[in-house]
Amino acid sequence: MFSALLNIVIPVFAVVGLGALYGRLRPGGALGYVNRANIELFTPALVFSALVKYPLDLMAHLSLIAAGALVILLPGLLLSLLRLRSISRPALILPAMFRNTGNLGIPLMVLAFGEQQLGAIIILFVLSNLLHFSVGMFILSANTSRWLWLRSPVLWAALAGLLVANLHIPLPEYLVTSASLLGQISVPLMLFALGIRLMEGELDHLGLALKCNLLYLLAGGISLGLAVWLLPLQPAWIPLLMLSVALPPAVLNYMLCEQYQCQPEKVASIVLGGNALSVLVIPLAVWLALHLGN
């Protein structure tokens, strides 16, 4: 078990660490273009090829979708009941809801549970993106951008993959192989870019960051418990949900809060602090997930 844990966790943090080192040695690079290509091309290709390769029956996965929505939305609702003088409510609840399911979650879950679970992993990833660009944007700005999620290439790639798989639309083998090759770029690039991005942040609000991230983990644990209790989940899905709530806040939270001037410096500290804390949390969560899976 310990050897399996090391084989999962060390490669993930090694690539993130190399990205951080590269970002320190080569500051001011063209990360924006790389991230844009990953969001608009490589990750959609991963989603499309995964859904074509591992066809999903959405009706059979309704309980997973409901559980995924619950563990995303309920922590935000729970944290909205708190009043912390040092941070606004939107800046507090956005990182509580939207975790790093892309850069860290996909590689971690694939390494832990194998490509046979990639379809379910993609469902959780697409669901998080959908809610991030709808509910999350609504929280930040109730008057604008509430339909921004419709512009997400990941969403349209997911819809295309589901249609092709469920309607049994024949595709040329070279097209599927090309999408698969492009998709394979996205996973290591997510981790590498995460390391570079973390080097750009500053941990100025250490106490606030630690307090918020501990609250997020507590709220995530409560949400996971309710999901398992209320919904008829397949045993293989529970470890995926467990890792989902243990992930640190997504870097995208900081980028969106910066765009809408919603205390971005405090959100940056929360995101950076959550990723630092994940060095301890992720190995424990992976160990528990593997133990549960066995």
Each residue's pLDDT tens digit, 152-164:
787 788 888 888 8
Give which of 40, 98, 46, 111 is closest to 256, Cα–Cα: 98
The pTM of this model reads 0.78
Kindly state whether residue 22 falls inside one of the protein's structural domains: no
Kindly state whether residue 23 falls inside one of the protein's structural domains: no
Each residue's pLDDT tens digit, 12-67:
778 888 888 888 887 766 566 777 787 788 888 988 888 887 776 777 889 999 99
Residue 99 pLDDT level (bands cut at 50, 70, 90): very high
Structural domain boundaries enclosing 249: 1-12+31-289
Kindly state whether residue 26 falls inside one of the protein's structural domains: no
pLDDT over 80 (residue 219): yes
- CATH code of the domain covering residue 153: 1.20.1530.20
Angstrom distances, CA of residue 248 to CA of 148, 194, 282: 24, 12, 9
| pLDDT for position 96 | 94
Kindly state whether residue 269 falls inside one of the protein's structural domains: yes
Kindly state whether residue 19 falls inside one of the protein's structural domains: no
Query: What distance, in Å, lies between the first and last C-alpha atoms of the chain?
Result: 10
| pLDDT for position 28 | 64
pLDDT over 80 (residue 199): no
Kindly state whether residue 70 falls inside one of the protein's structural domains: yes
Kindly state whether residue 80 falls inside one of the protein's structural domains: yes
Number of structural domains the chain divides into? 1
Kindly state whether residue 73 falls inside one of the protein's structural domains: yes
